[in-house]
Amino acid sequence: MTDLKTRALAYHEQPKPGKISVEPSKPCVTQADLSLAYTPGVAEPVREIARDPANAYRYTSKGNLVAVVTDGSAILGLGNLGPLAAKPVMEGKGVLFKRFANIDVFDIEIKANSVDEFIQTVINISPTFGGINLEDIAAPHCFEIERRLTEALDIPVFHDDQHGTAVIICAGLINAVYIQDKALDAVRIVCLGAGAAGIASMNLLVQMGVPREHITLVDSRGVIHAGRTDLNEFKRAFARETSARTLAEAMVGADVFVGVSGPNLVTPDMVRSMAPRPIVFALANPDPEILPAEAHAARDDLVMATGRSDYPNQVNNVLGFPFIFRGALDARARRITQPMLVAAARALAELARESVPEAVLKAYDLERLAFGRDYILPKPFDPRLIERIPAAVAAAA
């Protein structure tokens, strides 16, 4: 851990602080260049944009520029450390946007005293951007922020912790359910974690055909059931009539477990109590709800995914947000809709079933990789992602 800390700090500090920079995209080496880049030439696109705001997409970088915005209230599993501490993560998102989808990013860390102030700040800066990516904002405020910004703006607004995670979970579940010879509209699902990721993932699964009554949502106080009076509106939508009150009770006979909560909350006995051919997505990072070795020891008929790169079937958001935004920007979409997210999930699932190119094997130092229990999602460095996912999203838009 000390070695990782040393290397990580050196990586962020050297040879210059931070991970992103702004580079001009046009030459500016002569007086003629300067007269076009700035005065007097710059007046011409200004006039064209004033005449027709859509010309901003023609004459500026707006159409390929995304704001990665946070208040630092839920930083990458580290909690509420404030907007400044969130900046390394937001810069990291910028690196991923650029590396995987050639999208430029300004990271915007906002110190706001209320949800209203945060929302108004984003609205005020929105003319600069072709899209808004909300990041590391705690639930339940994140739901209201995403909803109100989507209503207020004419550019796509995307909360990666909600919708990005949901897309990758759903893509993995499409294939895991297929491998386990089950049907998505028939499986019974337990989701541990009722924050942004959990609720968004379950909503997307409902959109994809899972009956809402087949989903049992569990938070830190236990099963979310119809008798509870402490539920916000987002949890209340999943409150159901059930006698189960604890996670252990909810897991009995379940086909699928999705964990977006914390470490070591699932026991081998819980896994043993699940239905035949179970599916376990233990996605807490860095330590999952149950370690793969323990889960596989409990059940030899298991398909398992985690959020970690050192185990098979990593549920990694980088499979989603760069390509979803690429498709939305290319289509000049005003919204990122549920059908666009479903299209992304299905395209990811379909890609994992195809033969793996040699370039992917080389990138991961593998001799062989084929669709099956240990490969239900594409690898992030698969060059086909940029071809398939944006096209599917744009078509749905």
Whether 323 and 389 have beta carbons less than 8 Å apart is answered as yes
List the catalytic residue out of 11, 19, 26, 38: 38
Banded pLDDT at 78 (limits 50, 70, 90) = confident
**Within a domain: residue 200?**
yes
Statement to judge: residues 176 and 116 lie in one domain: no
**Within a domain: residue 287?**
yes
**Within a domain: residue 37?**
no
The verdict on pTM exceeding 0.85 is yes
DSSP strands (E only) in 228-373: 256-259, 279-282, 303-306
191-215: pLDDT as tens digits: 999 999 999 999 999 999 999 999 9
**Within a domain: residue 49?**
no
Determine the structural domain holding residue 148 and report its residue range. Answer: 2-25+61-155
Statement to judge: residues 169 and 78 lie in one domain: no
At 360, which helix (H) or strand (E)?
A: helix 358-363
List the catalytic residue out of 5, 19, 62, 93: 93
pLDDT in the model for residue 286: 87
| Domain count along the chain | 2
Q: Which residue reads 């579940």 in tokens?
A: 173
Statement to judge: residues 288 and 145 lie in one domain: no
- The rounded distance, in Å, linking the Cα atoms of 322 and 158 is 11
Asked whether the predicted pLDDT for residue 63 surpasses 60, the reply is: yes
Statement to judge: residues 268 and 321 lie in one domain: yes
**Within a domain: residue 55?**
no
Statement to judge: residues 244 and 286 lie in one domain: yes
353-392: pLDDT as tens digits: 999 999 999 999 999 999 999 999 999 999 999 999 999 9
Could you confirm whether 93 is annotated as catalytic? Answer: yes
CATH code of the domain in which 86 resides: 3.40.50.10380
DSSP state of 66: E
Tokens of 79: 């909690």
Statement to judge: residues 261 and 336 lie in one domain: yes
Domain boundary among 155, 186, 211: 155
**Within a domain: residue 36?**
no
Statement to judge: residues 241 and 369 lie in one domain: yes
Statement to judge: residues 139 and 207 lie in one domain: no
Domain boundary among 103, 128, 155: 155
CATH code of the domain in which 322 resides: 3.40.50.720
pLDDT in the model for residue 77: 76
Could you confirm whether 98 is annotated as catalytic? Answer: no
Domain boundary among 110, 128, 155: 155
